[in-house]
Structure 1
Amino acid sequence: MSKETLTVYISEQCRDCDRVTDLLNQLGASYQEKNISENRTYLKELQALSIFATPVVMTEDRTILGYQESKIKNLVDRMSR
């Protein structure tokens, strides 16, 4: 397994956020969840990157905005090699 960190930014009452975390859990992916509704620091982290919506799936070199199932699956597959 890669040492790359998978981070997921979510917010409350966000259907696509639930879909992303459900998919990651189904894939058995290890990830750090950052809820911008509960912690404003996480919101500021996203805003500093000019990102203003959730969900966001990030690694050190890749950012996936929204629920993009095939891209998320490819990323998790790449990380598991």
Structure 2
Amino acid sequence: MNETNLPFDKLLAAAARSLGTKPSDLKNAAENGQLDQVLQHVAPTEAEKLRTVLSDPAAAQKMLRTPQAQALLQQLMKGEKPHG
């Protein structure tokens, strides 16, 4: 895992876990334009958010550096439900 991709990789792992898939499968689906197959059982608003983040890793890195994102990431990594 590359140090600069660490927050993105953590988010990818948390998203994959909540979707019941592997991070590598989720990343491959995003890269190959097959994300809809993975997201078919996710609420449309949540699926769109995930599509946006996965389609632009640089934007995801920037977003993940915010304190709010760090707190949410910590909750997701612990398996907790996000608050709010």
Interval of TM-score (by shorter of Structure 1 and Structure 2):
0.3 to 0.5
Normalized per residue, the structure richer in strand is 1
Normalising by structure 2, what TM-score? 0.34
Q: Which has the higher contact order (CA 8 A, sep 6+)?
A: 1
Normalized per residue, the structure richer in helix is 2
